[in-house]
Amino acid sequence: MKKIILAAMGLTALISSCKKNDLGNIEKPLSIGALQDTLRGTISVNTTVTKKTILLGLVYVSPGVTLTVNPGVTIMGSTGPAIPDTVNLENNKGTLCIQKGAKLVANGTANSPIIWTSEQPVGSRHFGDWGGVVLYGNAPIHRANGATTGLFEAFDYHPDERNRYGGTDSLDNSGSVTYNRFEFDGGIVYQINKEVNGFTFCGVGAGTVFNHNEVAWSGDDAVEFFGGTVNLDHVLMYEAHDDCYDEDEGYHGKMQFIIAYRQTNCDNSGSHTIETDNDASATNVGPHTNAFIANATFIEPSVAQGYALSSAHYYDGSIFVRRNSRLTLVNSLIIAQQQPFAVVMTPTTYPLVANTPSLNDSIVIAYNIFQTNSAAPVVKSPIEGNPVPVATATDNALLGILGGASNGNSALSSLSDFKLDGALKPLAGSPALSGGQNLAALGLPFFVGTTQRGAVRTTDPWTSTGSWISIANN
């Protein structure tokens, strides 16, 4: 069993030839002398990957086609050139694009996970070595111009319709992804300053399954949602170079039992655990981005990182809600440590903060436990962009609302006060053992009922089950 070592916290968390099968699917069986396969170009027939495979450049799965990856398989993304090649897509970093109407079925197990990693040898891997995985779906999105579909920003240099997403089917199904680890991917693939994420959801619907997955050492966001309604549970985002959970374009999904852990890795654009936007123009029309997150554990740097806007790389807030987006965050542990801000609201969002958790179309942050060493843990920012540094923050007025008795939030002074074990599970006497709201008892679909707070319940030790989690840094 692999172990997660959270040393900075003083915690140890356990945390070839082809043939057709009887169903007519193409299989790539392991044969003598053929130890490795390659995915390249366009996959236009149902295909099953059964052995170690190179993902060569930009690879597309066509509509109506299912790509299946068997448990225990390792897929290695090609590293590509420093300057993207807009002519020969195979020369770029390995990136898998599941088109609208196609499916990715990658279901590993706790002890036989599917590993997506760099083609570089162990010890020489680095965040951003390869591209990542992009799902395109038919679920609703929001754009400032009112368009109901869009082209993924990382690949819109040429109007390639394979990168189009969005539609009207909130229950759209792009496949099933369970017990996977995505590591050392994300960053520049096809055009400068428009990155691919560790895992990207573009208009992906709630019929898609995504649970028990880890995204580690992403070169940009760990996951980003461009609209859609996909739900996530039991996921770990480790040391993303930018944001851990980035929500845009009217994303309306639910998440439960999620972890973000970061210590040293931050971007030059300001890095957050949650960054939620509506669109870049802060348009106040629906559908508004409005994620519903329950039972999260967010662990920020234990050593102070740069946060001034003049810094080359900096963190500037754990939870950042801006541009007319909304957010519901309940039953969670926000352990900000040396993060300059725990929560930041901007002019379009701080009027939406609800005094009671039952209001609709509002920002509800309730039944959580906060910890921060900052003098201004909750900030009302005067701008929609990255917030001002702590020293010039305008006020801390929202703290009274977020910490009020009606919202059930509380605060602790140090990490040790949470009384978590090495797998982030609450020990006897931990305030995380109670105080949450049982969302299932309230009739809310998707959510598992619990009054415990944080991502790891005593009855569900998912961070220490099996060998699918790793935090190897190269």
**450 occurs within a structural domain:** yes
Q: Between β-strands 223-226 and 209-216, what pairing exists: parallel, antiparallel or unpaired?
A: unpaired
The helix (run of H) or strand (run of E) holding residue 291 is strand 290-299
* Rounded Cα distance, 271 and 267, in Å: 6
For 21, the token pair is 């099968």
**474 occurs within a structural domain:** no
Compute the chain's Rg from CA coordinates: 21
Structural domain boundaries enclosing 228: 4-464
Residues near 273 by beta carbon (within 8 Å), at least 6 away in sequence: 243, 244, 245, 260, 262, 298, 300, 318, 319
What's the confidence (pLDDT) of residue 46?
97
Q: How confident is the model at residue 359 (pLDDT cuts 50, 70, 90)?
A: confident
**227 occurs within a structural domain:** yes
Is residue 274 pLDDT above 80, yes or no? yes
**68 occurs within a structural domain:** yes
323-347 confidence digits (pLDDT tens): 999 999 999 999 988 777 788 888 9
Asked if residue 274 lies in contact with residue 320, where contact means CB atoms within 8 angstroms, the answer is yes
* Rounded Cα distance, 29 and 21, in Å: 11
**22 occurs within a structural domain:** yes
CA angle 101, 104, 105 (to 5 degrees): 130
What's the confidence (pLDDT) of residue 266?
58
Q: How many domains does the chain have?
A: 1
What's the confidence (pLDDT) of residue 36?
87
**473 occurs within a structural domain:** no
**74 occurs within a structural domain:** yes
Say what percent of the chain tops pLDDT 70: 85
Q: Between these two residues, 228 and 395, which has the higher pLDDT value?
A: 228
Residues near 360 by beta carbon (within 8 Å), at least 6 away in sequence: none
* Rounded Cα distance, 192 and 173, in Å: 31
Q: Between β-strands 19-20 and 53-61, what pairing exists: parallel, antiparallel or unpaired?
A: unpaired
* Rounded Cα distance, 7 and 302, in Å: 10
3-state SS, residue 9: helix
**393 occurs within a structural domain:** yes
* Rounded Cα distance, 231 and 106, in Å: 16
Is residue 445 pLDDT above 90, yes or no? yes
